[in-house]
Amino acid sequence: MALYKKHTGKQTVKYTRNTSIMILLLLFALATLFPIYFMIISSFGDPVEAGAMDYSLWPAKVSLESYKFFFDYSEHSYRWLLNSLIVAGSVTVSNVIFATMAGYAFSKIRFKGRAVLFSILLCAMMIPYQVTQVPLYILIVNIFEIENTYRALIMPGLVTVYSIFLTKQFMSSIPNEIIECAKVEGCNQFQIFLKVIVPLSKTVMAVTAILTFMDSWNTFFWPFLVTNTMDMQTIQVGLKNFRFANTTYFAPMMAGATISALPMFILFFSLQKYFLEGVTVGAVKG
């Protein structure tokens, strides 16, 4: 609407332009939401093999049999959800704690080699995810010998460079005068961090928690590499068990995918206010 108000041309041109923009945005929104819609609609179909399934954009019959099939299919169905919750929850908590501490150190504490160390971290962030998986797998399986355990699933994600970078950039905007006042009052670094920095950084901590939980919950490749029994699989890996060499239980798989997406929807909409505040940090100066 701002574009509409600022435009000084003819009324016909204005309406044509804004209508075109709205149609384009609507098409992008539909293209983004369609996979989610198709996943939910397909989950209400009967639990038959993919070849016998009647694909449609609107279900002729609504049934919850596929959800029942998903939980009855394997005794580990509940365990997959629990594993995902444990791994994603642990990784989220550790990222918030360690990234907040590292961000404070890089932004407010002067120490020798700070710039060099932060530059190395930035370079590490530019390395593609796939490149690090082979040496990480060798480290976890051949040296530490902790494959197929929660430690193997959690340790590589304890803290990410992106989380450190995000918190460091946010804390750099906190005025140094506040920290100097705290020092004058007799606070040490630990007290300044807990009583001054943490309360002022709730927004970036919430954003870090949301992004980390979403990333860890949706990860498929790493849990697939380091787990070799069904009881240690996460929900994203467990869903592949519905696919066989010659057929796929499509509707139960979509039911499982819908169930696995619910925590993401709940987390996002419950913390939506903090997320929107976080993504606009730095967009407005003054």
Kindly indicate the confidence band of residue 285, based on its pLDDT and cuts at 50, 70 and 90. Answer: very low
Higher pLDDT, 7 or 271: 271
Least confident of 74-83, 96-105, 246-255: 246-255
CA distance 266 to 213: 12
Q: Which domain holds residue 161?
A: 74-241
Kindly indicate the confidence band of residue 163, based on its pLDDT and cuts at 50, 70 and 90. Answer: very high
Q: Write down the pLDDT at residue 2.
A: 53
Q: Is residue 279 part of a domain?
A: no
Most confident of 94-98, 199-203, 208-212: 94-98
Q: Write down the pLDDT at residue 72.
A: 86
pLDDT higher than 50, residue 76: yes
Residue 219 phi, psi dihedral angles, 5° rounding: -65, 130
Higher pLDDT, 228 or 245: 228
CA distance 111 to 45: 61
Q: Is residue 262 part of a domain?
A: no
Q: Is residue 199 part of a domain?
A: yes
pLDDT higher than 80, residue 257: yes
Q: Is residue 35 part of a domain?
A: no
Q: Is residue 56 part of a domain?
A: no
Residue 175 phi, psi dihedral angles, 5° rounding: -60, 135
Higher pLDDT, 92 or 4: 92
4-59 residue pLDDT tens: 555 556 788 888 888 999 999 999 999 999 998 988 888 888 777 666 666 777 77
96-134 residue pLDDT tens: 999 999 999 999 888 898 999 999 988 988 888 888 888
Q: How many independent structural domains does the chain possess? A: 1
Q: Is residue 175 part of a domain?
A: yes
Q: What's the whole-model pTM score?
A: 0.80
CA distance 238 to 230: 7
Q: Is residue 196 part of a domain?
A: yes
Q: Write down the pLDDT at residue 284.
A: 45
Kindly indicate the confidence band of residue 226, based on its pLDDT and cuts at 50, 70 and 90. Answer: very high
Average pLDDT over residues 78-84: 92
CATH number of the domain encompassing residue 232: 1.10.3720.10
Question: Do the beta carbons of residue 274 and residue 203 sit within 8 Å?
Answer: yes
Q: Is residue 21 part of a domain?
A: no
